[in-house]
Every structure is written in structure tokens, then in C-alpha cells.
């Protein structure tokens, strides 16, 4: 999820040419879609909002409060 947010954040600022992230090596069961890198790059999703669908069961698993 952090990787998707970072992709959107980086794309929103024209002065940023690249961002460094290691979040792609972490297991992320919160999203239904895979957010894959291609040759070290990734494109931000183009769907509304963050552009991904969340796994409701995983969200419930991590919910606190």
C-alpha cells in the first residue's frame, strides 16, 4: 500500500525524477491487485482514488481500535 501511495506522491510533483523504495520486497496482503515493477520502474495506477482495491479481510485482520 505504501508503494502505491509513493507512486502517486512522486507523480504529483514534477520536479521529482525518481524515488527510492524497498517496500516492493515486503509482503502486502492489503491490496487485491499486484503492484509490479518493470525494469526498476512502476507506473501509478490510473483508477480513481489510490487506484487499487483493498482486501477487506486483510484490512479487518490489521484493524485496531
pLDDT of 56: 92
pLDDT of 59: 86
Domain count, the chain: 1
Round to whole Å and give the CA distance between 34 and 32. 7
pTM: 0.53
Residue whose entry in the numeric block shows the C-alpha cell 483493498: 54
Q: How many CA atoms lie within 13 A of 14 on its CB side?
A: 0
Angle (CA) 17-23-29 rounded to 5° is 130
pLDDT in tens, 12-65: 888 877 776 666 555 668 888 877 778 877 777 888 888 888 889 988 988 887
Per-residue pLDDT at 9 exceeds 70:
yes
Beta carbons within 8 Å of 30's beta carbon, 6+ residues apart: 1, 54, 55, 58, 59, 62
Domain encompassing residue 41: 1-65
Round to whole Å and give the CA distance between 1 and 51. 11
Amino acid at each position: 500500500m505504501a508503494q502505491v501511495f509513493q507512486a502517486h506522491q512522486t507523480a504529483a510533483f514534477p520536479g521529482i525524477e525518481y524515488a527510492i523504495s524497498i517496500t516492493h520486497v515486503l509482503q502486502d496482503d492489503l491490496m487485491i491487485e499486484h503492484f509490479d515493477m518493470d525494469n526498476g520502474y512502476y507506473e501509478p495506477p490510473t483508477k480513481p482514488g489510490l487506484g487499487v482495491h483493498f482486501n477487506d479481510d486483510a484490512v479487518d485482520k490489521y484493524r485496531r481500535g
